[in-house]
């Protein structure tokens, strides 16, 4: 299963549990290295943002009330899915940044990435969600 579904999410925003057309229209997402189109995304307008804020506030209440073990299970599953899809995450990060450092960072291992150059540190902070969680 791919993390990104070109057909189900093109020109749309994921808002309050569903894919919707953004009130601000849509735009193409361009690969900075070659100018090619990677896909398209919806653009939120003020009403979309307000709806997202309200949905987030409502979800936070039930999340905060959920038992610790239930929340931990959700986060472990999210980490597992991201780890299983690390190659796809790296590919998208490389396209976004037009660099190969994102893939290199994933290959290095997260314990070594803290000792890299400042230039790579920015990419690593952006890519951190694609790797295994830090110990401790």
74 and 33 within one domain: no
51 and 82 within one domain: no
43 and 14 within one domain: yes
How far apart are the C-alpha atoms of 72 and 81, rounded to whole Å? 14
28 and 12 within one domain: yes
Q: What is the pLDDT of residue 63?
A: 94
User: What average pLDDT does range 85-93 have in this prediction?
Assistant: 82
- Does some domain include residue 4? yes
User: What average pLDDT does range 102-117 have in this prediction?
Assistant: 51
Query: What is the residue range of 26's domain?
Result: 1-65
- Does some domain include residue 136? no
Distances (CA, A) of 32 to 14, 90, 96, 98: 24, 16, 7, 6
How far apart are the C-alpha atoms of 105 and 41, rounded to whole Å? 27
pLDDT tier at 44 (50, 70, 90 boundaries)?
very high
76 and 51 within one domain: no
Indicate the number of domains in the chain.
2
Q: What is the pLDDT of residue 64?
A: 95
How many C-beta atoms surround the C-beta of residue 127 within 10 A? 25
Q: In this predicted model, what pLDDT tens digit does every residue of 66-85 receive, in sequence order?
A: 999 999 999 999 988 888 88
């Amino acid at each position: 299963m791919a993390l990104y579904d070109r057909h189900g999410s093109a020109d749309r925003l994921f808002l309050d549990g569903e894919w919707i057309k953004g009130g601000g229209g849509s735009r193409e997402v361009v690969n900075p290295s070659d100018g090619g189109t990677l896909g398209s995304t919806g653009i939120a307008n003020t009403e979309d943002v307000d709806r997202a804020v309200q949905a987030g506030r409502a979800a936070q209440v039930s999340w905060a009330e959920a038992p610790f073990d239930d929340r931990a299970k959700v986060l472990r599953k999210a980490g597992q899915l991201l780890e299983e899809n690390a190659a796809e995450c790296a590919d998208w990060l490389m396209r976004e940044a037009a660099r190969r450092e994102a893939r290199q960072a994933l290959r290095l291992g997260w314990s070594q990435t803290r000792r890299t150059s400042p230039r790579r540190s920015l990419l690593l902070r952006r890519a951190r969600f694609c790797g295994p969680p830090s110990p401790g």
